Amino acid sequence: MSDGIDSPIHPCGLGLFVSFEGIDGAGKSTHLATLAERLRAQGRRVTVTREPGGTPLAETLRGSLLHSAMDALTEALLVFAARRDHLRHVIEPALAAGDVVLCDRFTDATFAYQGYGRGFDLSVLSTLEGWVQRTPQGGLRQPDLTLWFDVPPALAAARLSATRAPDKFEAEPLAFFERVAAGYAARAAQAPDRIVRIDASLPLPAVWAQVEQAARARGVLP
C-alpha cells in the first residue's frame, strides 16, 4: 500500500467517535471527563484523547502550536499533521477495537480557529481534511457525534481568567473568539445530524443534562 497523501487511514472502526468542541473555557474538558467516568462505570472501554495531541509526535506539535508564533498556513499544516498521526496511531485502532473515543476537539476546531478565527482559506482546509481523514471506503472519517459547547465568549473568558494562565490562542482578543464562535455555528448548520448544540452558558448540572440527553439519543449512553 502506498504511504502518500492518497493512502487511506486504518480499517473502518466499530466503536463510537465523539468529539467535544467550542471556544476555550466553554466546559468541554469538564464534561468529557464526566462522560468518560459514566461510560467506564458501565463497563465500556473508553479512549480519552485530545487535539492537537494524543501521540508523542502530535503532543510535540501541540507544544509548538500553543506557544510559537506562526502564520495561519503553518498552523493549519501542523494541526493536520498532528491529526494524521493521531488518527493512525490512536483513533482508528481504538475504533477498530470497539472503544468509545472521546476526543477534546477535532477538525471543526480547525475550521473555527484557523478558518474563521484567522481568516484562512476554508477550501484549503477542506482539501487537507480530505487527504488526512480519508477512509478505505473513500469517505471521510468524521466523529459519529460532536457536542458543541456554545457559550458567549465573554463568559468563557471570565471562566478562564479565574483558572489558568492563557496560552497563545487563549490570549487572543474577544473579537477573535466571536469569529471562532461564528465558525462553530456555521459548521453546525452544515452538519446538523452530526453536531449537537449544547447551551454551555447554563450551570454545570444543566449542561450535563444536555450532554447526557445527546449521548443517549445517539446510543453512546444506554
Ligand X SMILES: Nc1ncnc2c1ncn2[C@@H]1O[C@H](COP(=O)(O)OP(=O)(O)O)[C@@H](O)[C@H]1O
Ligand Y SMILES: Cc1cn([C@H]2C[C@H](O)[C@@H](COP(=O)(O)OP(=O)(O)O)O2)c(=O)[nH]c1=O
35 binds, among ligand X, ligand Y, none (CB under 5 to 8 A by kind): none
Identify the residue among 27, 52, 153, 183 touching ligand Y (CB under 6 A).
52
Q: Which residue is nearest to ligand X (CB)?
A: 27
Check binding of 48 to ligand Y (CB under 6 A). no
d(CA 65, CA 55): 15
Check binding of 159 to ligand X (CB under 6 A). yes
Identify the residue among 59, 169, 185, 197 touching ligand Y (CB under 6 A).
169
22 binds, among ligand Y, ligand X, none (CB under 5 to 8 A by kind): ligand X
Site track for ligand Y across 16-35, x = CB under 6 A: --------x-----------
105 binds, among ligand Y, ligand X, none (CB under 5 to 8 A by kind): ligand Y
- The answer to whether 191 and 197 have CB atoms below 8 angstroms apart is no
Q: Which residue numbers belong to the known binding site for ATP?
A: 22-29
Q: Which residue numbers belong to the known binding site?
A: 22-29
